[in-house]
A and B are shown apart, each in its own frame.
Chain A
Amino acid sequence: DVKVTQSSRYLVKRTGEKVFLECVQDMDHENMFWYRQDPGLGLRLIYFSYDVKMKEKGDIPEGYSVSREKKERFSLILESASTNQTSMYLCAAEERGANYGYTFGSGTRLTVV
């Protein structure tokens, strides 16, 4: 099974700070995703990546960027954190083939004060 690790469970940052959320998968999967989860809104796709140095905007990319320099690592960057980016952030890697599906990390709960 794929394992997806998010480096921080909880983060508290100040408004205007640059924030890095890290995600690492332990398999050689091309596709990785960043979602944010908010009550009543479900999971909304921020960015995804099909391979190293490749990225695509999701449904809510404003205020975010991503970096994928190595296949196993996909980073979400908040260029200038704002209070409306307080949320749970979930990273996922996609497994293809017979066991198709997403494997999610445990999430990072970010609070911007």
Chain B
Amino acid sequence: SYVLTQPPSVSVAPGQTARITCGGNNIGSKSVHWYQQKPGQAPVLVVYDDSDRPSGIPERFSGSNSGNTATLTISRVEAGDEADYYCQVWDSSSDHLHVVFGGGTKLTVL
């Protein structure tokens, strides 16, 4: 089955840039979506189709995807960005179409 690998944690100072990676075999051939989840809340879509932003999501959130790594980049990090972030793809291997989530990355704003 397809596996997405995320670092468990990323720490960054306010105002700096955070980069959260999502590794998968030839992930560049898939569309990657990213979600932000704050404690006690439902996930929120922050980037879809590798690099598009839903309305209402700040331009500080951007994404890229190539080769075996997709990356969520958060520029000018704010305290309010502290959350868990999950990447997601659809996989059609094993004759099943199903969702795959990464294990999540906890972003800590120092």
Partners in one complex: no
